[in-house]
Amino acid sequence: MTLLRCRHCGSTLHHEVIDLGHQPPSNAYLSADQLGRPEITYPLKVYLCTSCWLMQLPAHAAAETLFTPDYAYFSSTSSSWCSHAERYVAAAVQRLGLGAESMVVELASNDGYLLQYVLERQIPCLGIEPTQAAAQLARERGIPTLERFFGVELADELRSEGGAVAGGADLIAANNVLAHVPDINDFLAGITRLLKPGGQVSIEFPHLLRLLAGNHFDTIYHEHYSYLSLAVLQRIAASVGLSLVDVEELPTHGGSLRVWLAPTAALADGVVSVPTEAQQRLAAVLRAEQAAGLESPLAYAGFQQRAEAAKHALLCFLLQAREQGRRVLGYGAAAKGNTLLNYAGVRSDLLAAVADKASSKIGRFLPASHIPVVSPAELAAMAPDALLVLPWNIAAEVQQQWRDAGYGEQPCYRAIPVLEQLPG
Ligand SMILES: [Zn+2]
């Protein structure tokens, strides 16, 4: 057996945190003619590096197989996500004093859901997005977009004479991408090279502290390689010449951090300074992580058992509904839903269909469970007695949209972190 190595420090990984069985990539939606073919599954088992404390999923599949050209996730389909991006751009422009002379680069810019607000302000920008379908949509919106994976090699190309970002970036936005990068060292090193001396990068990621406290085991999937704390990010960033400047705690994805970093050299030279309030915010998060035992095996004990309890509660709920003749249907064909359904072994006998607004998913089938994805109108026509909302982080938005569309007043349930009915 080959030894698994930590993606940051290279130490041998031997401390298992949670095992969710073998699963196909969570975004590998199937067409009808693919249903009869074999499906490739990979171990969905998370490890803790006891040298640098990075919680991680070893890469079993190359990123190119996970983020296929028809990768079906488009950020713009979530309206709450777009308004999150709009608020972010307004705040970043103010924080860094960005204008027509500035350069904004977004890594994993998807369909331009965020850079559209940069473009609106006539600030030059560049999107970097490896998936063809999303990059194409962004270009149709007029957003310059490169279809590439980001790292040192691309950063040097962009910075070279005549490159698209030859003068360096004032702002690099890397929102919900760092966790999805197999080579986290190379990605962060690329950021250091792409930044102007006074430039800053903001990185958003689901906060490991919230993931563990909230039992968000369904946010573990193969595209999600690193599960980050502020302390671990600080350690990895320091190794490539980046330092923490500020942190904000966000409610997104069940609790995220937005961390601002600048080149360590810029802090030493006084080009960038860290205000006292920012120092206090950083210290408070680091203290909370320390208190929770994130830099010891303690905080991770019992995660497997809590996931099992959630799985059993979901199965009881679906079996009981079936016995009572109540039809429960799913809403939201999100990656986290696939982790949950496949871990719990739920198939179409217990959940006959899942609705989604994304036309790229409608008419296809969820990986492994083969549950059909239908439009919200089709789901409504199946007369559900209750809805199980799989993307629990946007459950309230989903419930509102369902009711606004006149589909009915059925009770809505979220499965995670504990199975519960939504209010109203
Ligand atoms: Zn390590």
Q: Going residue by residue through the chain, which has 424 residues, state the pLDDT in tens, using 9 for 90 and above.
A: 578 999 999 999 999 999 999 999 888 899 999 999 999 999 999 999 999 999 999 987 665 565 554 555 666 666 777 888 999 999 999 999 999 999 999 999 999 999 999 999 999 999 999 988 899 999 999 999 999 999 999 999 999 999 999 999 999 999 989 999 999 999 999 999 999 999 999 999 999 999 999 999 999 999 899 999 999 999 999 999 999 999 999 988 889 999 999 999 999 999 999 999 999 999 999 999 999 999 999 999 999 999 999 999 999 999 999 999 999 999 999 889 999 999 999 999 999 999 999 888 999 999 999 999 999 999 999 999 999 999 998 899 899 999 999 999 999 999 887 889 999 7
Cα 50 to middle of ligand 1, angstroms? 7
Cα 49 to middle of ligand 1, angstroms? 5
Cα 3 to middle of ligand 1, angstroms? 13
Q: Give the closest residue to 229 by CA, choosing from 7, 16, 56, 26.
A: 56
Contact yes or no for 18/46 (Cβ under 8 A): yes
How crowded is residue 80: how many other Cβ atoms within 10 Å of its Cβ?
Answer: 13
Alpha helices in 78-183 (DSSP H): 79-96, 115-120, 132-140, 152-159
* % pLDDT > 90, the chain: 85
How crowded is residue 424: how many other Cβ atoms within 10 Å of its Cβ?
Answer: 10
Neighbours of ion ligand 1 (CB under 5 A): 6, 8-9, 11, 49, 51-52, 54
pLDDT tens across 37-47, in order? Answer: 999 999 999 99
The reported pLDDT for the residue numbered 178 is: 95
Contact yes or no for 201/260 (Cβ under 8 A): yes
The set of long-range contacts for 373-377, using a CB threshold of 8 Å and a minimum separation of 24, is 373/29, 373/333, 376/331, 376/401, 376/402, 376/405, 376/407, 377/405, 377/407
Torsion of CA 12, 14, 18, 20, to 10 degrees: 80
Contact yes or no for 110/75 (Cβ under 8 A): yes
Contact yes or no for 388/364 (Cβ under 8 A): no
- What is the pTM for the complete model shown? 0.92
